[in-house]
Amino acid sequence: MIRVARFYAGWGGLLIALVVTLQSSYAYFQIIHINQLITQLNQGKAITPALLKNTAPELQLAYAGYLKKKHRYQDAQVVLGRIINQGSRHIQTITRYNLGNLYLSEAIELAEAMQINEAMALSALAKQAYRQALALDSQYWDAKYNLEVAMRLLPEMDRITLEQDEPIPEKKTKLWATVPGFPRGLP
């Protein structure tokens, strides 16, 4: 009886090892295939969009970068919009950062073409995307830097609308604030 149990335990262990090996091999070859496609995109070679269906977010990020290089901003935004909440927290941060880069690139092009209203709207979207990336990873230096660039491109202005006949209120100054030195209290 013990002999039969050992026989089945041995074959069961071998079967489990075989299944784990096959799954690991399949995952390894998938990673190799995805890396080849990413390399192809980085070299500027197009891939068919059918290859992107149900693939890793990293490949779709690379495809969005390829589309950005080709100045196909709308298509790149669609790709990033599909994967914005997929993958790990780091991938989500990078996706939002890349979305901000798309908006900022398009805003710069529109600002150079003197289409200020459209550039302001895209700049606001870029700022929002960078802030979302920073909300996920507050130490992401590239998002901090690009947020500052977007702020300098078209700064946010607080707009105060005053009616023409409404006078601007003057601030009353307090005596102790205008006297040199520090207040010392009562004698």
**Residues 6 or more apart from 2 whose CB is under 8 A from it?**
none
Largest CA distance in the chain: 103
Q: Classify residue 16: in a domain, yes or no.
A: yes
Residue 16's pLDDT is 92
Residue 7's pLDDT is 83
Q: Classify residue 151: in a domain, yes or no.
A: yes
Selection from 92, 74, 79 nearest residue 41 by Cα: 79
Q: Classify residue 176: in a domain, yes or no.
A: no
Same domain, 103 and 145: yes
Same domain, 61 and 138: yes
CA distance 155 to 88: 32
Same domain, 18 and 103: no
Same domain, 3 and 86: no
Number of domains forming the structure of the chain: 2
Same domain, 53 and 93: yes
Is pTM beyond 0.75 here? no
Same domain, 110 and 74: yes
**Residues 6 or more apart from 95 whose CB is under 8 A from it?**
57, 61, 80, 83, 84, 86, 87
Six token digits for residue 171: 């601030």
Residue-level pLDDT, tens digit, the chain, 187 residues? 788 888 888 888 889 999 999 999 888 887 787 777 778 777 778 777 776 777 778 888 888 888 888 888 888 888 888 888 887 888 888 889 999 999 888 888 888 888 878 888 888 889 999 999 999 888 888 888 888 888 877 665 333 333 444 555 555 555 444 444 444 544 4
**Residues 6 or more apart from 70 whose CB is under 8 A from it?**
none
CA distance 39 to 134: 28
